[in-house]
Structure 1
């Protein structure tokens, strides 16, 4: 209890320091040479929008930086207070069938974690709503949250059943067997994402604007992309922000436009956004992401197995764990993978930012319309209340894309 209180106090101090850094300590002034340029937010946002953008971005960033150690604290509390051991005993009393026992334990653990993080997620939703980014009623948000819970639970339960099968059968090399099984599973998830998982949250349909659709397909033909359709999704029911993306692999690959993007961007701006997404396809970024996920999981599982063994040896007895094969030790694994994911995040972000910059370059070379490219990014920033030049720590840990300052200034340099 004493250690839990100390950790909670530490979390509070950390949250206060992050708040100070984000709202008072971070240096985010626009470089002098870019003041008055198209990258200067004062040139395309009014004073009210600038204030909203600053406050909204900083609050959302603070929520992220708070949510990560909160997740770690939850796992430690579940272990330290013997809750994991109790859940293992409770679910073991219901059934002796290993797979079902594991599924029930994971359900309890997932629900407990979901419940404990609910206040912060709800706060994040209310912030988006109060700043006019989210337009989704609570009922719709709650529905998405529950879908999220069950999708994550299904994936988690299947993963844990496989993991503990290998841990119990091959105590030293369990990570290798788990990694080999994860390869087809990762490929399968990439393949079904656009056609099975995404439609659980939104409605997808072929682009209604036939003229624009023809322009996009003509652009795709110019890029040697065998595209036959473009999809839009009804995001206006949930948000005022703009976006487009490409996901899936093989025959299930989809290029998708949010209907908010279609409503608020001109055709020439939409074509630049589409060209950017086509750049990801042409440069095989999706397949590179797939390979990257497989390689990363190899090192993550290998290093994670070493840390797992060390954690069990050092604290397993205190937490009432019977050994690495004890299901009650799952929070230890989840804690380790969360720590590793957080540590690897900046490297993944750096690689992603390079890919996004390459896609920007491809798009401008394909469309030859830097003016439309600049105005599309300006509108994306203004409508989503995105901070043009975020704090350094935010970019380092959160940004998978170059900042709007970098993207717009690059397009300006291309224009010259």
Structure 2
């Protein structure tokens, strides 16, 4: 369906008027639902941290953590294996305690706002797979981190940070090969004009790839999406089938140009750098925050020291509370990267209306016009209004360079698959 409200091409293109015309396509109940869904997420981010903190407090208060540590000590005398074994009940019970809240946020609320395509058994199955992956990761993490704490009692927080960052890099590198395929099927895109255009843009940007992957995300969600995953030889640029089925060629090109921007601008490595700083501050909090709490409550919890794996729920509680403000700060970092990728994608794909159309599709579940501080505090991507305005400003600047059919003041094409 093509809507052409201001049909004639004009040398006096008004980017503000064009932006308002795009925003006007999301009105009434659809806009109210989008605003309510996204605004509810502000509180969910807070409650995520509080619910996790409560779960960790229960593990300490009820004595479970001390019992798990004692059990691991009976099974083996090797301290590294003791920490790894402790991670098993810690992870399993933690997942069960968080299950009701996770079911509400990840399943029932998604269906309430018509965002999910999954049945509850399918959702629960994927949750179990994720819990299994997490269990393996936590076994390795606990074995290494608590070995570091024992070997370097004064500087363990520095070495633990390095360990966590190294494991994260390893996981990011292997995720496209071993983790993501557990949840979705990635298939090479069939030859055709869409693939040809994506590869043309990629080669113009000197991105060494001859493949484009499509992920069957419609099994789970109605969201449109694309991503850059992996590091080095495992980097993969993919788009989901919702994007392929709902967007035209211009929209797909704009999204893929954006994703190529993440690759060219080295955002994955930059985010790892920012994560390293957040991890370092978290480790410092544990180094200086945990011992006073153990001195006061350790006997009650039957937790001896920070080298005892039973201290893990205390670590988890402190980190859960720390991440509430840290996530707000990290949102601004990610939003800056997303804005950079937006600008790159506009230059690479040269499809401002395709970009604006996609921004409007994303606004079906992201509040489109937040207040200034609302966007700063809660958005990890630029708002729909910000993105449409950027696209229309770019279009005004480059209007004479665009083909005649792109020079119209307002064009929106939606729900037309690019076959």
What SS class does the counterpart of residue 147 from structure 1 fall into? Answer: helix
CA distance in 2, matches of 1:395, 1:107: 39
For residues 180 and 128 of structure 1, do their structure 2 counterparts lie closer, same or farther at Cα, with a shift above 3 Å needed?
closer
Give the equivalent residue in structure 2 for 1:12.
Answer: none
Give the equivalent residue in structure 1 for 2:385.
Answer: 405
For residues 109 and 181 of structure 1, do their structure 2 counterparts lie closer, same or farther at Cα, with a shift above 3 Å needed?
closer
What SS class does the counterpart of residue 317 from structure 1 fall into? Answer: helix
Deviates more, 1:363-372 or 1:85-94: 85-94
8 Å CA contact 1:41–1:50 kept in 2: the answer is no
8 Å CA contact 2:362–2:384 kept in 1: the answer is no
1:297 aligns with 2:252: no
Deviations along 1:254-302, one digit per CA (max 9) or x if unpaired, are 1110000000000111000000011111111112122333343334323
1:193 aligns with 2:195: no
TM-score, structure 1 normalization: 0.85
TM-score, structure 2 normalization: 0.84
Give the equivalent residue in structure 2 for 1:218.
Answer: 200
- Segments of structure 1 that go 5 or more residues without pairing to the other structure are 1-33
Give the equivalent residue in structure 2 for 1:146.
Answer: 128
Give the equivalent residue in structure 2 for 1:50.
Answer: 31
- Segments of structure 2 that go 5 or more residues without pairing to the other structure are 1-14, 397-419
For residues 411 and 70 of structure 1, do their structure 2 counterparts lie closer, same or farther at Cα, with a shift above 3 Å needed?
same
Deviations along 1:284-326, one digit per CA (max 9) or x if unpaired, are 1112122333343334323431222232223323322212222
Indicate which of 226, 240, 263 corresponds to 1:281: 263
Name the Cα RMSD after superposition: 2.4
1:113 aligns with 2:94: yes
8 Å CA contact 1:276–1:362 kept in 2: the answer is yes
Give the equivalent residue in structure 2 for 1:25.
Answer: none
8 Å CA contact 2:50–2:320 kept in 1: the answer is no
Give the equivalent residue in structure 1 for 2:345.
Answer: 363
8 Å CA contact 1:243–1:261 kept in 2: the answer is yes
Give the equivalent residue in structure 2 for 1:171.
Answer: 153
How does 1:262-411 map onto structure 2 within 5 Å? 262-382=244-364, 385-390=365-370, 395-396=375-376, 398-411=378-391
8 Å CA contact 1:370–1:415 kept in 2: the answer is yes
Give the equivalent residue in structure 2 for 1:88.
Answer: 69
For residues 346 and 56 of structure 1, do their structure 2 counterparts lie closer, same or farther at Cα, with a shift above 3 Å needed?
closer
Indicate which of 140, 147, 156 corresponds to 2:138: 156
1:39 Cα deviation (Å)?
A: 5.3
What SS class does the counterpart of residue 208 from structure 1 fall into? Answer: coil
Give the equivalent residue in structure 1 for 2:401.
Answer: none
For residues 54 and 299 of structure 1, do their structure 2 counterparts lie closer, same or farther at Cα, with a shift above 3 Å needed?
closer
8 Å CA contact 1:312–1:323 kept in 2: the answer is yes
CA distance in 2, matches of 1:390, 1:158: 42
What SS class does the counterpart of residue 299 from structure 2 fall into? Answer: coil
1:243 Cα deviation (Å)?
A: 0.6
For residues 64 and 344 of structure 1, do their structure 2 counterparts lie closer, same or farther at Cα, with a shift above 3 Å needed?
closer
Count of residues paired in the alignment:
382
Deviates more, 1:221-230 or 1:45-54: 45-54
CA distance in 2, matches of 1:329, 1:44: 53
1:398 Cα deviation (Å)?
A: 4.2
Greater relative contact order (CA < 8 Å, ≥ 6 in sequence): 2
CA distance in 2, matches of 1:352, 1:60: 17
1:333 Cα deviation (Å)?
A: 1.3
Deviations along 1:62-107, one digit per CA (max 9) or x if unpaired, are 3332221111112122212222122223343444443443233222
8 Å CA contact 1:40–1:405 kept in 2: the answer is no
1:35 Cα deviation (Å)?
A: 9.6
CA distance in 2, matches of 1:68, 1:181: 24
